[in-house]
Amino acid sequence: MGKKLFIAALGALLVFVNTNSEGQDYSQHPQPVVKMQTPHGDIYCELYPDVAPKHAERIKQLCADKFYDGIRFHRIVPGFVAQAGDPASKKGVNAPGVGSGGSDYPDLPLEVSPTQKNTRGALAAARTNDPNSANSQFYIVLQDATHLNMQYTVFGRVLGDGMKVVDKIKAGDPIVSLAVVKP
């Protein structure tokens, strides 16, 4: 009897550990999943290594490096995008040069696919006018932005009710942590 109770409790604990605040379990999700903790709640995003392998791998590497922890959303354009990923924003969104920085890794080439679009909830690579200049900055699309399709790498998407959290983000809000929860 005690052994069965222990096994049942262990099983319940494993389900609890692999379940997010929405009650969804992403441990069996077909794509890699990252969890972004913000002051407004958690945002789970799937990554697309099949269409944007270099970008998906870069995000996973930067998560392992804890690069995004403490970085702030420095650009919020209502009805368009919420942007983060510049390490200079840790000093504040009005610090000199915020919006132009990146990681110490080399820039990435453009990786586009007609199947991945800049629709609400898309996770995409921010860059300069050079299409091969993406590095660590990303944006989350707040409202469909079809004019960006095939021009910016869409490497993931917000899952579940995550856009309810994204919609609360303001300029200056930090990313508490960004971590891979399903490789």
User: Does residue 8 belong to any structural domain of this protein?
Assistant: no
Is residue 18 one of the residues assigned to a domain?
no
Could you tell me if residue 69 is inside a domain?
A: yes
| 77, β-bridge pairs | 81
In a domain, 171, yes or no: yes
Q: Give the range of the structural domain holding residue 123, as residue numbers without chain letter.
A: 24-182
Distance CA 76, CA 19 (A): 29
Q: Is residue 163 part of a domain?
A: yes
Domain-embedded: residue 151: yes
> In this predicted structure, what is the pLDDT of residue 20?
46
How many domains does the chain contain in total?
1
Residue-wise pLDDT for 98-123, tens only, equals 999 999 999 999 999 999 999 999 99
pLDDT higher than 70, residue 15: no
Q: Which helix (H) or strand (E) holds 2?
A: helix 2-17
In the chain, % of residues over pLDDT 70: 87
User: For the whole model, what pTM was predicted?
Assistant: 0.87
Task: Write out the two tokens for 52.
Answer: 């944007």
pLDDT bucket at 2, cuts 50 / 70 / 90 = low
Q: What is the CATH number of the domain that holds 101?
A: 2.40.100.10
Of 80, 100, 105, 104, which Cα lies nearest the Cα of 89? 100
pLDDT of amino acid 3: 52
Q: Which helix (H) or strand (E) holds 178?
A: strand 177-182
Chain segment 127-174, per-residue pLDDT in tens = 999 999 999 999 999 999 999 999 999 999 999 999 999 999 999 999
Task: For 21-64, write each residue's pLDDT tens digit.
Answer: 456 789 899 999 999 999 999 999 999 999 999 999 999 999 99
* pLDDT recorded at residue 9: 42
pLDDT of residue 154: 98
Average pLDDT, the chain: 90
Least confident of 67-76, 87-96, 157-166: 87-96
